[in-house]
Structure 1
Amino acid sequence: MAQYAAYVICTSPRSGSTLLCKLLAATGVAGKPGSYFHDGSVAAWLGYYDLTPDEAATEREVLADIFAAAIAEGSAGTGMFGLRLQRHSFDFFSRKLALLHPDHPTERERFQAAFGRTAFVHLTRRDKIEQAVSCVKAQQTGLWHAAPDGTELERLSAPQAPAYAPDEISACVEEMTAYDHQWESWFEAQSLQPLRITYEALSAAPGETLKCVLQHLGLNRETARGVEPGVAKLADEISKDWVARFRSEEASK
């Protein structure tokens, strides 16, 4: 029996969250986790769910409708809501959550008020240089995710050849490291003990990692049987070259 009504995957870009979300959705018991509050705009949220609020509606009423729509989509009829929350989306989301549930003094309590008993999963990538290279390369090429057969799943800009950019990689390393620290500080402030998963473990053993998450949620581990990764690794020889080059340059400073 499920121990939770919802779970939040707390993460940062290029940490394997798309892989984990697709694995969980494929079990048929863990909802359809996604970035349902990604953009820092209520107007964008309304657009996600094709909602048109009444002109007389208060912002709190509008938010209630948005959250209800998000829960319906992210539960996918399973009774379990899954949310992916990138750190850069957190502050705006938190402010709107406080507006929706002003009677609850802590963010932890507001999550429970909004989604029911909520579990937290912290998904990180230990190798910050590889994470930064992945992020910079995706930004340059426009391709963020592809299926195992090579079909593009997410492209945010027109194709462009990647070019080694050490300053961009360095800035991204700092940014991703800061995101990890911000999540850790938040967990401590909210007295939360999240399930901790790394990209490295997820990438090496997706099936076993999926079983671990299901068990943590109180769901049947066996629903992971037969579930295959729905995204391909985008790291290639260019990625490896950039990582090695950046490490060498950093070591020589």
Structure 2
Amino acid sequence: MAIKKSYIICSIGRSGSSLLASVLNNLGYCGNPREYFHPNQVANLMDNNDSSAFIKYVEEILKKGVTTNGILGVKMHWEHMRYFLRFTRKNLGYKDKTDLEILNDFFPNTHFIYIRRENILKQAISTEIAQQTGIWSQKITNTQKKQLNRPNFNPLAIYRIQEGIKRHEGAWQRFFQQNDIDIYEVIYENFCQSIEITTIDIIKFLKIEPLPKPNQIQVSLHKQSTNLNDRWEKYYNLFPQILLKNYSELRTKFKQYLKR
């Protein structure tokens, strides 16, 4: 099927990108955006520099991610984008191409939606809880409750995740600026309060027809934040940032010393 238009949901973990992707997918004519380039999906291909297998994999993605009207949706975290561009330049003859030239070659007529959270601390806490429990999302229709591992509060891990989020946010901003990209920015906290309005605005930005009515926009994922997230935020704020920063740097230096 010929692809008329593509869009990439640019994100960082626990930014609400799965919620946004599911809302667009549920409409049935706005592509099927998923993390097709997650390391779990492509690590072997990239690590082995297997260009032919990678091309075959991309061809399969173009079939899965596109709807019958020719709209392709893809979701990428920063590390997915970085590895994708690095691999294509090294192995597929794109060495002298710009980022946008590469992306438009794979994803024709590319548009960019950037979703982020204002409260990075809550994002980091959500990430740490998901890493410990192994639960990253849950569908509303899923009535079977998953067995949860009891997460343990770890302020150092939360601090490091928070710093990683800041680095990746900076990387996305540089990517947009260097490539002079016109993005549609979604703030997660606002999106949760106005899912219908924001979704319609995104479809206007993408120039996809027809515009849906608010009652056509369906949410299929549970909000996963609980009282535990709020408690951890209070606990974390009791720790001086300079203490966590110094302890993190000390641990890093100690590990580097041990590797000598």
TM-score range, shorter chain: 0.7 to 0.9
Amino acid at match of 2:232: W
User: Is the alpha carbon distance of 1:188 and 1:96 closer, same or farther for their aligned partners in structure 2, counting shifts above 3 Å?
Assistant: same
Quote the residue 1:37 is aligned against. 37
Query: SS at 1:62's partner residue?
Result: helix
Deviation at 1:198, TM superposition (A): 1.1
Q: 5 Å matches for 1:61-210?
A: 61-98=52-89, 99-100=91-92, 102=94, 105-149=97-141, 151=143, 159-210=148-199
Query: SS at 2:13's partner residue?
Result: coil
Note if 1:245 corresponds to 2:235.
yes
| Contact 1:31–1:75, Cα closer than 8 Å, also in 2 | yes
- Select between 5-14 and 141-150 the one with higher mean Cα deviation: 141-150
Cα RMSD of the aligned pairs, angstroms, is 2.6
| Contact 1:40–1:92, Cα closer than 8 Å, also in 2 | no
- Partners in 2 of 1:192 and 1:236 — Cα distance? 36
Structure 2 segments unaligned to the other structure (5+ residues): 244-260
Deviation at 1:76, TM superposition (A): 3.4
| Contact 1:31–1:76, Cα closer than 8 Å, also in 2 | yes
Amino acid at match of 1:102: Y
Deviation at 1:226, TM superposition (A): 2.2
Deviation at 1:247, TM superposition (A): 2.2
Amino acid at match of 1:136: E
- Partners in 2 of 1:178 and 1:33 — Cα distance? 24
Superposed CA offset, 1:26-59 (max 9, x none): 111111000111117746569xxxxxxxxxxx94
User: Is the alpha carbon distance of 1:40 and 1:102 closer, same or farther for their aligned partners in structure 2, counting shifts above 3 Å?
Assistant: farther
| Contact 1:134–1:239, Cα closer than 8 Å, also in 2 | yes
Q: TM-score if structure 2 supplies the norm length?
A: 0.82
| Contact 1:124–1:199, Cα closer than 8 Å, also in 2 | yes
| Contact 1:145–1:152, Cα closer than 8 Å, also in 2 | no
Amino acid at match of 1:78: N
Deviation at 1:87, TM superposition (A): 1.1
| Contact 2:4–2:70, Cα closer than 8 Å, also in 1 | no
Amino acid at match of 1:113: D
Q: Count residues in correspondence.
A: 237
Deviation at 1:246, TM superposition (A): 1.4
Deviation at 1:243, TM superposition (A): 1.0
The share of aligned pairs that are identical, in percent, is 22
| Contact 1:33–1:84, Cα closer than 8 Å, also in 2 | yes
Query: SS at 1:83's partner residue?
Result: strand
Structure 1 segments unaligned to the other structure (5+ residues): 47-57
| Contact 1:37–1:45, Cα closer than 8 Å, also in 2 | no
Amino acid at match of 2:174: S
Q: TM-score if structure 1 supplies the norm length?
A: 0.84
Quote the residue 1:211 is aligned against. 200
- Partners in 2 of 1:39 and 1:251 — Cα distance? 31
- Partners in 2 of 1:83 and 1:223 — Cα distance? 24
Amino acid at match of 2:97: P
Quote the residue 1:51 is aligned against. none
| Contact 1:34–1:82, Cα closer than 8 Å, also in 2 | yes
Deviation at 1:175, TM superposition (A): 0.6
